[in-house]
Amino acid sequence: MKIILVLLALCVILFNIVYSQWEKLNNEFSNTTIISLETKDNLIFSGTNGKGIYLSSDQGLNWQSIKNGINNSIITFILPIDNFLFVGTWGDGIYLSSNNGTDWVRKNDGFMMEYVNSISFNNNVLFLGTLNGLIFSTDFGDYWDKKNLKFNNISINSFDTRNDTIIFTSHGSGVYLSPDNGMTWFPRNNGLTNTYVRSIKFCNDNLIIANFAAGGLYLSNDFGNTWVLKNKGLEDKFCNTILIKDSIIFVGTNDGVYFSRDNCENWIKFNKGIESILIEKLTPTDEYLFAGTFNNGIYRIKLTELPTNIYDKEYYSDINISPNPAREYIFIIHNVETGLRPISTNEINIYNLLGECVLSVETQHSVSLQWIDISSLPLGIYHVRLADWVGRFVKIE
């Protein structure tokens, strides 16, 4: 018994070293809503609800106000384009800086939409998603022509682009796609049960959207013609923002941050220290992942502490268990070249140290990565049996 307790204590220590928690950054807006968050050359720009825009050059430890020339304190969107930086405001249109926010110039000449939700730049066309529709400029925002206003009275939430394709999400009208850089538009809502769509991202040949309803994470592999719900692990979570980095898909929810490395098939919570907090925006630097929150400022975590290498090819052998130690889930990992090898059983059985079978799950023969929920198991050491293979893992708090 003493040996088991010592092993458990060591595992807890090692796990906490490897998997540390999110760190809240204490600064002048630690209790402020962060509406927009963006990185540019390892500089971090934070747009707040009521305190303007801030810049950090030391991975978020210190921040300085850079709202000189901006007349509005609600910064809704930040978009770096080469050496320039655009910001959108809630009530005063957009501003442009050519020196990382030292000075700003208002770019609202012509028919300007003042309440800006999102900004996108594609093939030399600048698109604004606003409270009352979409408008675009072909001269980098120098002039806005009323004839370029589309979707009047539809609130545009977010954009993403690929080549000549631009797609946006909206508040109440779902998703629209243009195959010709904004000249013609088509609705893309087949399969959606809710048309209040917060965020959208291209991921390889797929599209992913976050729908601000319980479990509202959808995937499309046909450019939005059809959508399939992909919310295993997110069933009761409200999805607000999406980030894709190095093939890892992150989603910010009303319960912290979740991630997927199997194309949205399984979502794993990664929110120790950030639980029950609504995530507004996610952005990475080379060293950290940052989360802007509702009324709780900014959090960060080192990218090296993300549990991602359990998916990397060099970590697969024949069959492995990861993470180990584990808290709420384990993966049974099989050879990535051949997937699950043919076996004589349809069950994976988990046994406690008394030899009692405490959990059985159906074997998924067609995948190389099988997720098993172990959250109901007590703390302890367990054996996993799959046909003639036996592995071991430690369940910790």
Start-end of CATH 2.60.40.3080 domains in the chain: 2-11+309-395
3-state secondary structure of 314: helix
pLDDT of residue 9: 43
pLDDT of residue 311: 37
pLDDT of residue 5: 46
Q: d(Cα 14, Cα 186) in Å, to the nearest integer?
A: 52
Q: Which residues, in sequence order, are CB contacts of 321 under 8 Å at separation 6+?
A: 330, 331, 332, 333, 384, 391, 392, 393
Q: Considering the entire predicted model, what is its pTM?
A: 0.75
pLDDT of residue 30: 83
Q: How many CB atoms lie within 10 A of CB 42?
A: 13
End-to-end CA distance of the chain: 18
pLDDT of residue 113: 81
Q: d(Cα 255, Cα 242) in Å, to the nearest integer?
A: 14
Within the chain, which residues score under 70 in pLDDT? Answer: 1-20, 306-318, 334-346, 365-368, 387-388
Token pair recorded at residue 162: 């690929």
pLDDT of residue 247: 82
Q: d(Cα 359, Cα 232) in Å, to the nearest integer?
A: 19
pLDDT of residue 366: 54
Class of domain 21-305: mainly beta
Of 340, 319, 336, 341, nearest to 393 by C-alpha is 319
Could you tell me the fold of the domain covering 2-11+309-395? Answer: Immunoglobulin-like (2.60.40)
Using the CB atoms, write b or e for 81-115: b if 16+ within 10 Å.
eeebbbbbbbebbbbbbeebbeebebbbeeebbbb
Start-end of CATH 2.130.10.10 domains in the chain: 21-305
pLDDT of residue 365: 57
pLDDT of residue 318: 56
